[in-house]
Structure formats: structure tokens, C-alpha cells
Structure 1
């Protein structure tokens, strides 16, 4: 129980780092990050908050992950729900200041990308399943053998393209994060000696199979007791 509790705490801290990262990149005022261009486009078209749009996109990506054969963990589900909620809370509370200059905006983008890498190390490292987008990144990495930075860059550009078509706001900051986020994530992974592909995850299907095994064992025990 202690191990599970510590993993959940680490998971939540990782989600908070990711939400802070998104808030920093939004408040940099240099153009939204590619995924946030997508979130804003969906938010404006559906009349929902950015956090809710993040949850909606996360759900769609989880479905894609399953189609790609990537198992879903409890961490995946919690990521899909909690990062969006934390983001709305951070924005509502005005925790992250807004940049008032180009240099300040670039600095906030850099901080945001570093925080995202740290957040990913924290929650992926719990072994409770990758986040929706990170699960997709890992799935493509396994299948193509390409680097994290290359896979992430392609994903960012695809999200940007769809988001722009939906009316999301893009700018120089969008280009910086589209190209640089994968590099910064990879740098953070290397600095912290973290290898995402080597993490052994426990997935929801594992818990379902465990419960089935326990149930079958109890049924067999009852049958044997009855026969005796």
C-alpha cells in the first residue's frame, strides 16, 4: 500500500508539472503550442474551456493508442482527466504570470518545455501507464525505431495543422515548441537518465486479469470444499 501511495503522489506531481508547463507556454504570449492550438480550436468551436478540450482530445488519443496496440493504465486515464482540470485551476488562479516582452516569452517557453519533460519523467516513471499523447509517442517510437524528438515533432506538427484549420491561434512560439519540445524532452530524459521504453508498466488489463484469477481461485476453493 505504501508503494502504491507513493506512486500516486509522484503521478499527481507529474501531472501538476505538465499542467504548469502548458500554462507557461500559453502565457508566453508568442502563439500557442501545437496541441494548445488544437485545444483552442476545439474550445472555441464547442464553447468549452481549454482544460475540457484537453480532456476531449486525450480521450480521442487514448482510443488511437488502443488501436495501435498500446495498453492503457490507470495513469493514462488519470492523465486524461487531471491534467485538464489542473490546467483550468492554474489559469483560473493566475498562478503563472503573462509575458510582457519577446525575451520574457521565449524564456517562459523554455521553462514550459523543461517542465513538460520533468512532468513526463515523473508520471511515466510510476509504471502506471503513459499519458495519452506520450503513449502514442512511445507506440510510434517502438514501431519505427525513430528518436523521441523526431516522433514528437511529427505529432506536434499534425496537431498544429488540425488546430489551425479549426481556428486556433499560432505564432512564433508555436514554431518554437513544435520543433523544440521533442528536443527538450529528450534532453531532460538524458539528464535524468530516464529511458521511457524500458519502463515496465502495469496496465488496467493486468488488474482485470488479476481479479479474474482471484475470483476463479475462490470459486475452485468453494467447489473443492463442497466436494469434501
Structure 2
């Protein structure tokens, strides 16, 4: 939805789109490949993937390609803004759901929590460094940066926190999560590829 709105993407999708343009591939396919490469970075960080980690790599990219195949590009400003707002909101819902499930972090979120744990730097610093790196790289490759990028950066943390609390009321309590899943629930997720 955020891609079709054309108003700017979250940092990881800026990278995915930039690489997709450079290699003439679908953005979802690039998301899968980047997710798999990020998992290789988990090895020195001693991160352990879960079912949710592997599912995130495959399902998000496949869903992105399928959605882009049926969802038309929007031309009117109102329609584009509505699509952007809906995309950010749905990403917040999805983030709250997948973290609350406790089946392992997505590859990008696990990279950030792993870097923080192994280096001793704060989650805030590791997250910011990784996000800025992928954002600038993606932008240099032709990924779309705009008001949507800023909206996502500002809104995803509060939305994720809201939906983590909401799903805790339904028995999906993130305070009962262990290890990386709890670390992930404590930060403002950025992914991906939502």
C-alpha cells in the first residue's frame, strides 16, 4: 500500500525498492533476498531465528509482490494519503501481532536487537544506525523517500506500542516473552516490510 501511494517508504523498503530498481526485480523478491542476507548477519551476533523469523522472510515478500500485482497505483492526493495512512496503521497492527505471538523476531528487528546485545550499545543507537544506513543506501539506489518515510518513522513506534498493549488484553502478553522477543517488544519496530 505504501509503495502504491508513492509518498515515501519506510527505510527498509526504500532499500528494497532501490535494489529492485537497480536489478530490475520485484520489490517483494528483493525483500526476501535481503531478509535472507540479514539472517546471515545473525551468525556472529549469536541470534537464534524462530518460526516467525523464517516466516517473516518469506511471507512478507510474497505478500508484497501479490498485493502490488492487484493494487493499482493511486493518482489523487486524497487517495494516496489514505493509502499511506492505511499502510502505516496496518503495519502497526501487524507488528503488534507478530511480536506478541512470540515466534521470533523478523530478521531486521533481530539484527538491531542482536547488535545492541553483542556490542553493549543502546537499542536506540543500533536501530538508528541501521535504519539510516539502509535509508541512505536505498535512496542512493533510487528508492522513494518522502512524507511517508517521515510519517512511518514518527508513527510506527506509538502504533506498535498501542497494538502490543491491545493484543496483551487478548492473552498475547508481551511481558511473558523471553529473550529477543521481549527486547523486540520493548523497541519501536521499524520493519519492514510491513
Change (3 A) 1:49 1:108: same
Aligned residues of 1:26 and 1:33 also touching (Cα < 8 A): no
Larger radius of gyration: 1
Q: Which shows bigger deviation, 128-137 or 178-187?
A: 178-187
Q: Which segments of structure 1 move beyond 6 Å, counting only runs of 4 or more?
A: none
Aligned residues of 1:30 and 1:102 also touching (Cα < 8 A): no
- Ranges in structure 1 where 5+ consecutive residues have no aligned partner: 1-23, 202-228
Deviations 1:49-82 (A, max 9, x none): 1111001110122122332222111221121112
Alignment of 1:45-194 (within 5 A): 45-94=22-71, 97-139=72-114, 143-144=120-121, 146=123, 154-193=129-168
Q: Alpha-carbon deviation of 1:182?
A: 2.8
Tell me the distance in 2 between the aligned counterparts of 1:105 and 1:141: 36
Change (3 A) 1:198 1:154: farther
CA RMSD of aligned residues (A): 2.9
Tell me the distance in 2 between the aligned counterparts of 1:100 and 1:166: 24
Change (3 A) 1:119 1:57: same
TM-score (norm 1): 0.64
Tell me the distance in 2 between the aligned counterparts of 1:151 and 1:195: 25
Deviations 1:89-147 (A, max 9, x none): 111122xx544333443332232122112222323333322111122244356555556
Tell me the distance in 1 between the aligned counterparts of 2:92 and 2:56: 15
Aligned residues of 2:26 and 2:65 also touching (Cα < 8 A): yes
- Ranges in structure 2 where 5+ consecutive residues have no aligned partner: 180-194
Aligned residues of 1:26 and 1:32 also touching (Cα < 8 A): yes
Higher relative CO (Cα under 8 Å, sequence separation at least 6) belongs to 2
Count, aligned residues: 175
